[in-house]
Amino acid sequence: FLLALGFIYLVLAAQFESFIDPLIIMLTVPLSMAGALLALQLTGNTLNIYSQIGLITLVGLITKHGILLVEFSNQLRDQGRSIRDAVIEAAVLRLRPILMTTGAMVLGAIPLARAVGAGAESRQAIGWVIVGGLLLGTLLTLFVVPTAYTLLARTKRGERAREIERAEQLTHGAQVAGE
């Protein structure tokens, strides 16, 4: 499980070209784990191989929420917005996709959680991990990720975007003057 988390962190670090942004995204994992373990406790299930498979699935699902918020905030900051304005707008604009993803996955996992018959115990464990982890994880993610981004994000991102824009204007101006 730790190896899976490490691999996800490295992939995110390569994607975002940063070590801070994946850290902010990975903050969603313990939040969702708390919901998953609470759901297992409330339903009387145990932490077994099936619930661990559900936990790995949950990590992939819940990190998507953090990726949506951080990526959109980075795009807005590249346009010159302040950290605070970028985070607020990203949280507002990405709320609906996050809630729709969570709703679809929770509704899809409820039949697993409510399964009966032969082998139902294994399906129930996976289902309750996904349902509990996504519900609590999403609720907490909507508050924790924007807060963590505000506190940890690089302040020079907007300056870098302006430098790139100036360089492009100079290059474009030199091309126009050369013609």
Residues 6+ apart with CB under 8 A from 14: none
Q: What is the pLDDT of residue 153?
A: 83
Query: Do residues 124 and 39 make contact, with C-beta atoms less than 8 angstroms apart?
Result: no
- Per the model's pLDDT, the better-predicted residue between 81 and 159 turns out to be 81
List of residues 6+ apart from 161 with CB closer than 8 A: 77, 78, 79, 80
**Could you report the per-residue pLDDT of 119-175, keeping only the tens digit for each?**
788 788 899 999 999 999 999 999 999 999 999 887 655 555 566 666 677 776 655
Q: Which one is predicted more confidently, 107 or 5?
A: 107
pLDDT (tens digit per residue) in 12-38: 889 888 888 999 999 989 999 999 999
Interval 88-115: pLDDT, tens = 999 999 999 999 999 999 999 999 888 8
How confident is the model at residue 177, as a pLDDT? Answer: 54
